Each structure stands twice: as C-alpha cells, then as structure tokens.
Amino acid sequence: MTRLLIANRYFFLPYLILFLTVSVLMLFYTKDDMMHWVNGHYNEAADFFFSNITNLGDGAFFVIVIVVLAFRSFRYAAMGLASFALSTLIAQGLKHLAFPNSLRPVKFFEHSEWEYRVIKGLQIHSYNSFPSGHSTSAFAVFCLLALLDERKERGWLFVLLAALVAYSRVYLFQHFVEDVFVGSLIGVLSSLVVFLFLSHRWERVPRSWHKRRLRFR
C-alpha cells in the first residue's frame, strides 16, 4: 500500500493538498459562504468551459474510458468496470437511500433574499445533492487512470481534471462544496480499493484473458 502511494505520489500528493485545503475552508466557512463566493465569480468563458468539462464526470464518459481501456488490456477494462460499479453504487446509495432529501442549492436558497445566478437554459436539479455523483465518477476514473498510467509524473494532470469537474458542479449551481468533497473521497477510495484488491488477486491467480485486448480488424 505504502509503495503504491509513493509510486503514484504525483497523483496522491496533489490530491492530499487539495483535500486538506478544502477541509480547512469548510472548517472556517459555511456552505452558504462558499456558494456565495463561487457563484459570484463568473464570466462567459467560464460558463462555456465548466458547462462542458462537467461532462467528464458523467457515467457515459466513464463507460467510454472502459471501452478505450479494453483496447489496451481486458484486465484494465475489468478494473475500470469494477471501479465504476463500486463508486456508483456507494454514491447513488448515499444519494437516494441515506440522504434522499438533501437539498440542492437552487432548492436550499429558494426562499432566500440572495439573488443567485444560474446559466440560462441549464437544467438544475432540486434534490439528491449529497454526494455529488459527477465528482465521484470523475475522481474514480482519473484516479484509476493515474494508477494504470506508466508515466506516473502525469498524475497531477489527472488530479487537475477531476478537480475541475468537481468545481464545475459548484459553479453550475448543482452542488455544494461538501457534496463534491465527499464525492472525491468516494471516487479515489473506490479506485484504490479496486486496484489493490484485483491486482493482489490476479497476481496470485492469473487469468488467460488478462493479456488479451480488443483489436480493430
């Protein structure tokens, strides 16, 4: 475990810094304060950017990544599928079973005097705010890619992409910071557990299909 974390320090160290930074912010500021700040800092370029990069946290993107991994190795694709299943199960279980009445920002501030801003034409949800599914999926897929990538120095890029997806959920007025914060933790831990478990299991009992992959004919 320790050796794995050290080997992937370019991912886990930036994530740790991000995790601690957001933890401190949540300690000193309320979710209202942080939402006010994010919602008050916008421009048209950011609207376009975050409206699109948020799609990297969509389940469909994860499925595309799994298919792409299958062209590299069925073993990698199986890890991707397991990570997707585990992270989604945990996030959606919490969202719909444990916290079904968790209010999204638009509902939370419904009777507030604050004049918040939403992007015109954007579909805004009202419930099932905690945790953020997009953030969970983004951190799960990019953590797994960092673990599978042989060029470990690119780990910081995967953290950056996942963090941008998480920030987009707050920017787009879909989630609070606490929602994306917990989502990131679920995603990272899900991929880490899947990678460790399957790697250990398959080292002991190799499968014939591990070295196979999809091929274009």
Domain boundaries, the chain: 2-114+123-204
Residue count of the chain, please give it: 217
Tens-digit pLDDT profile for residues 29-82:
999 999 999 999 999 999 999 999 999 999 999 999 999 999 999 999 999 999
Q: Which of 119, 156, 129, 102 is nearest to 42 (CA)?
A: 119
- Do 125 and 104 form a contact (C-beta atoms < 8 A)? yes
Percent of the chain with pLDDT over 90: 85
Where residue 217 falls among pLDDT bands split at 50, 70, 90? low
Is cis: bond before 206, omega within 30 of 0?
no
Q: Tell me, what's the pLDDT at 205?
A: 80
Q: Which of 187, 169, 181 is nearest to 50 (CA)?
A: 169
Phi, psi (deg, nearest 5) at residue 78: -65, -40
DSSP H helix total and E strand total for the chain: 10, 0
- Measured CA to CA, the distance from residue 145 to residue 132 in angstroms comes to 20
Tens-digit pLDDT profile for residues 152-191:
999 999 999 999 999 999 999 999 999 999 999 999 999 9
Residue-wise DSSP of 33-90: HHHHHHHHS--HHHHHHHHHHGGGGSHHHHHHHHHHHHTT-HHHHHHHHHHHHHHHHH
C-beta contacts of 24-27 below 8 A and 24+ residues apart: 25/177, 26/177, 26/178, 26/181
Q: Which of 71, 54, 74, 88 is nearest to 191 (CA)?
A: 88
What is the identity of the amino acid at 141?
A: V
Where residue 207 falls among pLDDT bands split at 50, 70, 90? confident
Exposed/middle/buried for residue 4 (C-beta within 10 Å: 0-12, 13-18, 19+): middle
* Domain covering 2-114+123-204, topology: Vanadium-containing Chloroperoxidase; domain 1 (1.20.144)
pTM here is: 0.94
SS3 call for 126: coil
Q: Tell me, what's the pLDDT at 134?
A: 97
- Measured CA to CA, the distance from residue 43 to residue 106 in angstroms comes to 20
- Measured CA to CA, the distance from residue 74 to residue 39 in angstroms comes to 43
Q: Is the pLDDT reported for residue 206 higher than 90?
A: no
